[in-house]
Amino acid sequence: AQKITQTQPGMFVQEKEAVTLDCTYDTSDQSYGLFWYKQPSSGEMIFLIYQGSYDEQNATEGRYSLNFQKARKSANLVISASQLGDSAMYFCAMRVNTGANSKLTFGKGITLSVRP
Amino acid sequence: KAGVTQTPRYLIKTRGQQVTLSCSPISGHRSVSWYQQTPGQGLQFLFEYFSETQRNKGNFPGRFSGRQFSNSRSEMNVSTLELGDSALYLCASSLGTGLSNQPQHFGDGTRLSIL
């Protein structure tokens, strides 16, 4: 079974500063994908970034980057130059590469508040 | 390219009633998954459909069911509603199934309130 752990309490960051949101995972599968989603108060889940278990380079998408440490089973999201619109709930998720178990497993999420 | 469309956005029902939620995936996406989100339990997987077949199912009672049509649109049905079914129901689509490198793209969700 897969497990995602997000234990940080609500996070606060000053506008224009960088912030790191922590995520650790557990799986016995060798092939898997790690995802980060953003959920504003309106409810929609917005896909931010993906990292494959065999990817040697850390994924980057604009202001988002994923600090992937496979041996430590961590996949932290780094948001650079925070903006007020980044205030939201952030979820780390995993998907393994087996047809019978292809669901996304989510962590509990982290609330990020960006201060002006 | 249109995103995932869920209807309705908001729904109020009473205990014992049944409800049907609809989801239209992104054009070309053949896999549709449903999730329930509550403050206490977080995001929980309900089921996934691909090519009109249920491929995967979460730990929910049989009151929760779904189906997928030939155009990949999906519906989710909940019968004999209980207060605990109040939640945000999210639909997600992806190109295929069983592929760990495929992100799922979500709709805006349906907020279901049970009175």
Nearest by CB to residue B103, choosing from A35, A43, A100, is A35
- The whole-number pLDDT of residue B23 equals 98
Task: Reply yes or no on whether the pLDDT at B7 is more than 70.
Answer: yes
**Mean pLDDT lowest for which of B20-24, B49-53, B82-86?**
B49-53
Residue B28: count of CB within 10 angstroms of its CB? 9
Q: Do B100 and A97 touch (CB under 8 A)?
A: yes
Say which DSSP state A17 is in: S
**Chain B residues with beta carbon closer than 8 angstroms to that of A37:** 106
From chain A, pick out residues whose CB is under 8 angstroms from the CB of B104: 35, 47, 95, 104
pLDDT at B100: 65
Q: How confident is the model at residue B1 (pLDDT cuts 50, 70, 90)?
A: low
- Please report the pLDDT score of residue B102 as a whole number: 78
Question: Would the pLDDT of B89 be above 60?
Answer: yes
Q: Which residues of B touch A42 (CB under 8 A)?
A: 108
Whether B97 has a pLDDT exceeding 80, the answer reads no
The shortest C-alpha distance from A93 to chain B (Å) reads: 10
Contact flag B108-A101 (C-beta cutoff 8 Å): no
Q: What pairing do the DSSP bridges indicate for beta strands B10-13 and B110-114?
A: parallel
Residues A65-102: tens digit of each pLDDT: 999 999 999 999 999 999 999 999 999 999 887 655 56
| Residue B14 vs residue B95, higher pLDDT | B14
Q: Estimate to the nearest angstrom the gap between the alpha carbon of A6 and the chain centroid.
A: 9
Amino acid B95: pLDDT: 86
| CB contact (8 A) between residue A33 and residue B101 | yes
The chain-wide mean pLDDT, for chain B, equals: 93
**Which residue has better confidence, B110 or A1?**
B110
- Suggest the residue from A103, A106, A108 to mutate for an interface test with chain B (most B CBs closer than 10 A): A103
Q: Are A17 and B74 in contact (CB under 8 A)?
A: no
Query: A9-23, A100-114, B38-52: which has the minimum mean pLDDT?
Result: A100-114
Cα(A114)–Cα(B50) distance, integer angstroms: 39
